[in-house]
Structure 1
């Protein structure tokens, strides 16, 4: 091989090599909520002056600080929902950089930070990770002492067949650079375009030393399963905790999910059931009600385990069986209670019963299966289980002794030994949950579903949760994720979730992200990614700042979307990105090019005049629905409940009569459009209107169509009212009909309204 006299291709400061392709076109008007539904801001692409050049002078931000921000993908300016250019202050930019671990407190520190980021790639023999699409060449910079030879090869992922491939050097010249007193040369090597999909390992060896780095080859495009590619698929959307049977313990569980999948697939011809995120909440009460603010996104909430379906529960002694029955006695009557779901009571009962089952001996085969699961899930599972045990003993993380704040500390290692029995309990709970998830997906496929269970991936995690503790090396602790101001939230939004640190995540070769995806996709036919724009950029709010005083931080979307596509491909799963709200126009095209479906909600699909977007103008590659969980069910929306509720809670920013008039005008425009197309007659009933709205969605070219189970039974109450915490029972509303009477899973098969809507979907 030639010496590293300066062959290469890479931007200064680059820490990851990716091969990207992007398009830039505009889309029709869309109005939609951001994560949690807080935003319904209208974005009119194509209007003169709305999308202007981003080359804006920053008189209040020094040029060097701007250069440093750009090097770390911090964007001081952004286009707001109002179409105007907005700009972060220099102070906010410095704080965001500080959250990224960059000291920009003085001009001298800025200069040092600039020199550091520019030299960092030259200090590494190889980039920390290389992400490339299958079928494309990738140039990889290799840094060694100027003039030294170097040899590069790739060890192929065993799952992709194994073996070794030599990597040739490219004829690209780059001048050497003096770094830390050493003259460093850059040699450029070209990865073969025919590398198989997978996680490979690149090696570089020479007199200057050796290094290795992952090479992730991702699908150029994620293809739909054949059954879905050939024909449209429809399915139910449900908040699982709200769908209870007479055997539930106050909360819908994984056995209920299996039953719902059978009912939807076998009896109604549906192809999927979309459920809320099943991510784990706290291991002890009080539990955070929101499934979108979990302690971890990788592991499952054992609240959803059906106690009686754990194998060992069938072999309990009479005394132990009595203990399980006693635990269930106070919570089984809650299944028919129309009041707010009480997760704390349900989990306290269920945890007591599960501890009894856990103590029962497992057969040698069952023990071997458990141990194999623990080994497969690796250190991530053990760390999560240890966090659960520590939280049991010490309470909320904010009150932990300082020596337990670092997962790698000797004190934590000692605690792991001391709490070994409790650690085993929490790993066992993940195993039994995994078994029941597998049975639910199998029940869906056995019922004839083309997709099966469609899981939901939340945007982030609780700031004092397991991930925030275990992944503190790759999560930014000095900032939280949110959204800039919009017409409904003039102060902006702070979701309190720590964001991925893009540089640290790349240094970790995206493994924490990959491991999370693998668990979510483990028993999934599809995954819905909430706020998919977060794979491109996130609004960072530094600690101590208001929600409006933030800035966007860019992510390597080519890597994040590519890895998502790779893991979904391996799992045979469909990916849907929730791309509602203010989204840069090219992003939807990019996701469609990669085979990631978008999201369309009927009430948010409007043309530039505010009229309902004709169904033929919907995007084909989307999951299209009438409503979403951040709005009241359709019966309630038609009645203006979304206005009445916000008025009762004091959330309106304009006079109630004005907002109500707008809501009813929107409804009337939609009803008129339905009648114009012959989908609705005069003096239609509420049921007929709901069915007509679904016929409108069925008239679209959208590949997937979702039906809210709440719509199907006539429910009127919203599951979530954005902008509230204790003022409204968010994520606690049990499934009920329009009169507030609980609808149990056992009775769905004979529910006339559900069966009528299912017939509409089948046609």
Structure 2
């Protein structure tokens, strides 16, 4: 590797080395750097091209009359450059965010001399302007006018810090954590849905005193079978999977003709027996039946008010919703992953023709989003009415399916030629490739971060809190070049000040708490930064160790965190205590160390934890499995953490993991229904009479 290649990588935001999970420093291979730079659109395949790319990086800011996006924390004195033809004057002003009151503000030029620079054969001058310190929070439009024309960019004023709600400042909160698709009732259609969400939220608040309900991402999947089971590999993060809609709760269902009502009921009867099946959840069967019913309901007339509400929703969501609905309609015609080349251009003539031809189906998929939004609003409202202080805690996945709706519609702000994942760690010793295209850092900035804003606004609209999966990805992401293994990647940095600022702004506007999953390989300063911005971290009991590698005493946990005993990427606690995570990984060929070594390590970890419980007086001699599970939850209750989470799987004695990282079809990931320790399905109808659930909840009620 030449010094020029290393310099180009670093100046392009590509890390040339990193610290691995075992504390060793790892250097990125030269071929990997070249491939990652190629995915960023930078040709580094020869020394000559590296030099051209370096010169381009130096000149690029001078080619832009305005910075693509200016992010400023409210009250800070920030300056930014404006580029004009040398010697020409420039006028710069702001059009203020209508949501912040609107209006126009002239901006003041500062007396800062910067020598002009020759770029592309012309001398370019730089003027320096200041952002007023009294600007309101919001998305403002930056404008300039000079001899070379009018220009505009985005200026976003974000909070210094996301303030913790008064309810949490008075008293910390606890809640349940559930995979919604796995939590079913007798009225479900084979998959847990938004009506089930509303019931679980209200009952856990009213009967147990819970303050929140954390659920898996509800992001959209494919519009036709087969449906990707992972909620963390969606086709779109902005829109909702209509699989979660409850057809009977749509107003028009009550006014269907007898014949149409019978058709809806017949569709439900096809899949209702799945509710009591302990086998893998069949999303495809559930969606095929539900989709037939939803098409009947969609065709029914709506009242004038309901029709106006739908039209208003469609107008407010704008082009993003129309493009998502168009992709969903095309997907029905072209269910294959590889579409004809002419359909890959969302602005091309072939797609424009389909937009007209498929207008009815586009309206249907827009309507599904409106219905889902209505039912999500009802679930959050019910959670708060039941007594929750936060309500529904939504989850935001890291990325999207490589051939999904977002990858298609947002192609201009996503990188091609690479996917994101994670380097090897203790639990995934071969690394992970999540097959998701990453945001392109520069392209996202040039787009004013609007795709990020639109996504966050939708997810936060009916949320009391949001969990950001792998929040480290907002700082840097592990990019794996096409054709490389998961170990052969490099970290690519993002403008975290901009992205975290926008996250804080949108959460502030919706009144939501933000929790970042800050696990895995990360730089130590990141946690301090997130805490300073008012974002909670994530503490998992089994991962919290002291400097000697022993179980961390509860008083040393972070206050600014969501703390829980387990997570969806581990077996429920009963299974973990039995070492089932080791046996599962060994059976799937995921271990690099000898299996007996890993077994011994797991046993030593369990024994260490049991000793800690005993010294705290939380267990007696020879505790049962149930006593150990409750004692572990009593232990996290002794931490200062603001939020305490209880896995619903733990609460009923489930032993099977929902997901085994590093696998795809080898394990039934995201298909495991909620069941007790004997493997019997637990339905919502019986859930809150479950003795084990009530006993565990009592740990937090005491």
> What range is the shorter-chain TM-score in?
over 0.9
Residue 177 (structure 1) aligns with: 117
Residue 649 (structure 2) aligns with: 710
Residue 463 (structure 1) aligns with: 402
The runs of 5 or more residues in structure 2 that have no matched partner are: none
Report the CA distance shift for 1:451/1:488 in structure 2 as closer, same or farther (over 3 A).
closer
**Within-5 A mapping of 1:113-152:** 113-152=53-92
The 2-side partners of 1:86 and 1:723 are apart by 21
Residue 103 of structure 1, CA deviation: 1.6
- 2:512 is the alignment partner of 1:573: yes
The one-character-per-residue Cα deviations of 1:419-442 (angstroms, maximum 9, x if unpaired) are: 111111111111100000000000
Tell me the SS of whatever aligns to 1:411. Answer: helix
Residue 373 (structure 2) aligns with: 434
8 Å CA contact 1:482, 1:541 repeated in 2: yes
Residue 291 (structure 1) aligns with: 231
The 2-side partners of 1:104 and 1:672 are apart by 55
The one-character-per-residue Cα deviations of 1:327-386 (angstroms, maximum 9, x if unpaired) are: 111211111111111111111100111111111111111111111101111100100110
Residue 472 (structure 2) aligns with: 533
Residue 762 of structure 1, CA deviation: 1.3
- Tell me whether 539-548 or 600-609 shows the greater mean CA deviation: 539-548
Which of residues 9, 34, 39 is equivalent to 1:69? 9
**Within-5 A mapping of 1:595-744:** 595-744=534-683
8 Å CA contact 1:302, 1:429 repeated in 2: yes
8 Å CA contact 1:488, 1:653 repeated in 2: no
8 Å CA contact 1:514, 1:563 repeated in 2: yes
The 2-side partners of 1:451 and 1:316 are apart by 36
Residue 203 of structure 1, CA deviation: 1.5
**Within-5 A mapping of 1:73-222:** 73-222=13-162
Report the CA distance shift for 1:686/1:82 in structure 2 as closer, same or farther (over 3 A).
closer
Residue 354 (structure 2) aligns with: 415
Higher normalized contact order (CA 8 Å, seq sep 6+, divided by chain length): 1
The 2-side partners of 1:487 and 1:664 are apart by 15
Which of residues 282, 294, 305 is equivalent to 2:222? 282
The 2-side partners of 1:484 and 1:717 are apart by 25
The 2-side partners of 1:202 and 1:420 are apart by 36
Q: Return the TM-score normalized by structure 1.
A: 0.91
The 1-side partners of 2:428 and 2:151 are apart by 49
8 Å CA contact 2:428, 2:590 repeated in 1: no
The 1-side partners of 2:23 and 2:71 are apart by 34
The one-character-per-residue Cα deviations of 1:632-688 (angstroms, maximum 9, x if unpaired) are: 111111122212222333333333333222212211211111111111112322222
8 Å CA contact 2:268, 2:290 repeated in 1: yes
Which of residues 216, 236, 241 is equivalent to 2:181? 241
Residue 218 of structure 1, CA deviation: 0.6
Residue 488 of structure 1, CA deviation: 4.8
The one-character-per-residue Cα deviations of 1:6-36 (angstroms, maximum 9, x if unpaired) are: xxxxxxxxxxxxxxxxxxxxxxxxxxxxxxx
Tell me the SS of whatever aligns to 1:299. Answer: strand
The 1-side partners of 2:573 and 2:22 are apart by 28
Report the CA distance shift for 1:746/1:488 in structure 2 as closer, same or farther (over 3 A).
closer
Residue 173 of structure 1, CA deviation: 1.6
- 2:330 is the alignment partner of 1:406: no
- 2:334 is the alignment partner of 1:394: yes
Which of residues 363, 370, 393 is equivalent to 2:310? 370
Residue 712 of structure 1, CA deviation: 0.7
- 2:454 is the alignment partner of 1:454: no
- Tell me whether 138-147 or 718-727 shows the greater mean CA deviation: 718-727
The runs of 5 or more residues in structure 1 that have no matched partner are: 1-60
Residue 506 of structure 1, CA deviation: 0.5
Which of residues 246, 255, 261 is equivalent to 1:321? 261
Residue 385 (structure 1) aligns with: 325
Tell me the SS of whatever aligns to 1:650. Answer: coil
Residue 10 (structure 1) aligns with: none
The one-character-per-residue Cα deviations of 1:195-236 (angstroms, maximum 9, x if unpaired) are: 111001121223332212111011110011110122100000
8 Å CA contact 1:235, 1:272 repeated in 2: yes
Which of residues 151, 168, 182 is equivalent to 1:228? 168
8 Å CA contact 1:396, 1:464 repeated in 2: no
Tell me the SS of whatever aligns to 1:353. Answer: helix
